Amino acid sequence: MNIFEYFNFVISNMLEKKGRVFLTLAGIVIGIFTFTFFIFVSQGLSNAIVEQFSSVGANVLAVQLAGTPLGVPGGSGLVDTDVSKIKQVISEYKYVAPGIALTSKLEYGRIKSNVLSISYPDENLDDVFSDIGVGILEGRNLRQGDRGVIILGYKTATESFGDKKVQVGSSIKIKDKNYRVIGIYEEQGDIFIDTSSFLPFNDAKDLADQDTYSLIRVSFNQGADLDYYKEQILRKLNPNGKEKRVKVTSSSQAIDKFNQILGLLTGIIVFISSVALFVGGINVMNTMYSNVLERINEISVMKAIGATNFNIFLLYLIESAILGLLGGLIGFSLAYSFAILLSYIITTYLGYNVPIYFDFIFFMIILMGTIILTMIFGTYPAMRASKINLSDNLRDE
């Protein structure tokens, strides 16, 4: 028999047993879909986290109070002395900018909404905006000397006030003071920027009614040793060593932290989905073995006209491989399609970018892994078929 005859025989046999083949394929597809879908989702979340914190800047350290959640601006207590101390122990930096982050109640058209307001000193505005990488959708950016104005993130302008969308030139009230909207940022898919507002530094200080800062942003030149400067800043601002008053984080550190958590959750989910895949393999073995028992007479006839044990073994092994190929293709396609759909829903309706990418190498690994797995589970039925004793069967008949 040549290879085409093998495949023709196997496919004809599978078409005769459509119901059983369908149930076997369903088990494989469910296993592959579950396994692959959660990997796609975890990769998408990881990509979203990388994009989220990369917007902070690759060469930026954020100095915050020790009790502040990782990557979340807020709190207060940092002072000008801290800024001076940081400058004493670092070099190769572009700027050291204290920042204010406070939750303000914005009122527009009699609708009130709590919005995170962020601000940096006038002299650092251009550098900070360049690092963050946000673009203006309408209006203009903040300039040195601005007072009584505000810029809104995309979701703040379009969703924070019910059906009312804020336009450039509109008036926003904060604590009984009116602020003119001079700009709206492009949608970034960033949970902080899209739902925030930006104020002139002196206005933010007036609203906070204090001379302390929420964070200090330290931006370095390309190639600077961030780990070294991080340790220097920690030693300078935490002089007693044991009781930490401040912490220093970078975008890479935040990404690593979230990826560790995500990796643990992914590992648990993948383990659970692997059980479904294993059950699919058992289903292949059961189907193939039942097929062997039902076709003992046919196998005996094949041996009588010259088929060898290897021919019979190969027929059943090819059948299990085809089941794996079909199950892998269908399962992967469904998983990728549903992951893309989920990404679209989150991006469109929630406004947070969760990118899903097709990886050909990953596709081939899933496909070949499924084929190998089904062939492993199909080996015993194939061996059982090849060892059918022709003389015993004919005597029984």
122-165 tens-digit pLDDT: 888 888 888 877 789 999 999 889 999 999 999 899 989 988 89
- Residue 54's pLDDT is 55
Structural domain boundaries enclosing 265: 3-53+256-396
User: Whole-number mean pLDDT of the chain?
Assistant: 82
Q: Has residue 226 been placed in a domain?
A: no
Mean of the pLDDT values across residues 322-326? 89
Say yes or no: 162 and 79 in one domain. Answer: yes
Task: State the Cα–Cα distance between residues 63 and 214, nearest whole angstrom.
Answer: 9
Q: Does the pLDDT value for residue 30 go beyond 90?
A: no
Query: In this structure, how many other beta carbons lie within 10 angstroms of the beta carbon of residue 266?
Result: 18
Same domain, 123 and 16: no
Q: Does residue 233 lie within any of the structural domains? A: no
Q: Mutual orientation of helices 309-345 and 251-294 as an angle, nearest 10°?
A: 140
Residue 203 belongs to some domain of the structure: yes
pLDDT of residue 286 exceeding 70, the answer is: yes
| 275: Cα separation from own chain's centroid | 23
| Average confidence (pLDDT) over 115-121 | 91
The three-class DSSP label of residue 269 is helix
* The pLDDT of residue 334 is above 90: yes
Average pLDDT over residues 302-326: 81
| Contact between 28 and 284 (Cβ < 8 Å) | yes
Same domain for 206 and 316, yes or no, is no
Phi/psi for 264 (5° steps) reads -65, -45
Domain-embedded: residue 388 = yes
Please indicate, yes or no, whether residues 331 and 316 belong to a single structural domain of this protein. Answer: yes
What distance lies between CA 239 and its chain's CA centroid?
Answer: 38
Q: Is residue 195 part of a domain?
A: yes
Task: Tell me if 230 is assigned to some domain.
Answer: no
Tens-place pLDDT, residues 38-56: 888 888 877 776 666 555 5
Helical (H) or strand (E) element with 248: strand 246-250
Mean of the pLDDT values across residues 301-327? 81
Q: Would the pLDDT of 289 be above 90? A: no
What pLDDT does residue 285 have?
Answer: 78
Closest of 306, 301, 259 to residue 393, by C-alpha: 301
What's the mean pLDDT in 238-256?
75
Q: Which of 67-76, 236-245, 370-379 has the highest mean pLDDT?
A: 370-379
21 and 86 assigned to the same domain: no
Greatest pairwise CA separation for the chain in angstroms: 103
Q: Decide: 374 and 324 in contact? Cβ < 8 Å.
A: yes
Per mean pLDDT, which range of 63-77, 78-92, 157-171 is the poorest? Answer: 63-77
3-state secondary structure of 169: coil
User: Lowest-pLDDT range, 79-88, 108-117, 280-289?
Assistant: 280-289
pLDDT tens-digit series, residues 179-235: 999 999 988 766 678 888 999 999 999 998 878 898 999 999 888 888 899 999 998
Choose one of 205, 221, 237: the last residue of a domain.
Answer: 221
Q: Does 271 or 70 have the greater pLDDT score?
A: 271
Query: Is residue 42 domain-shared with residue 179, that is, in the same domain?
Result: no
Interatomic CA distance for residues 202 and 35, integer angstroms: 53
240-245, long-range: CB < 8 A, 24+ apart: 244/66, 245/65, 245/66
8-state DSSP, 187? P
**What pLDDT is recorded for position 44?**
81
Do 292 and 201 lie in one domain? The reply is no
Helix (H) or strand (E) holding 196, with range, is strand 196-198
Whether 71 shows a pLDDT value over 50: the answer reads no
* Banded model confidence at residue 73, pLDDT cuts 50, 70, 90: low
Residue 197: Cβ within 10 Å count:
25
| pLDDT beyond 70 at 100 | yes
Final residue belonging to a domain, choices 221, 248, 272 = 221
Question: Does residue 13 register a pLDDT over 60?
Answer: yes
* Residues 209 and 77 reside in one and the same domain: yes
**Residues 49 and 82 occupy one common structural domain:** no
Give all strands (DSSP E) within 39-192, no chain letters. Answer: 60-65, 93-108, 111-119, 136-139, 149-152, 171-174, 177-185
Q: How many domains does the chain have?
A: 2
Of the pLDDT bands very low, low, confident and very high (cuts 50, 70, 90), residue 75 is low
Note whether residue 308 is domain-resident. Answer: yes
255 has pLDDT over 70 = no
Q: Say if residue 212 is in the same domain as residue 68.
A: yes
Query: Is there a domain that residue 317 lies in?
Result: yes
Q: Is the pLDDT of residue 108 over 90?
A: yes
Q: What are phi and psi of 185, to 5 degrees?
A: -75, 150
Nearest to 118 by CA among 158, 76, 155, 74: 74
Q: What is the mean pLDDT of residues 292-316?
A: 74
Q: What share of the chain in percent tops pLDDT 70?
A: 86
Which of 1, 22, 44 is closest to 323 using CA atoms? 22
Are 204 and 148 in a shared domain?
Answer: yes
Domain boundary among 221, 244, 267: 221
pLDDT, position 76: 64
285 in the same domain as 269: yes
Supply the pLDDT for residue 88.
93
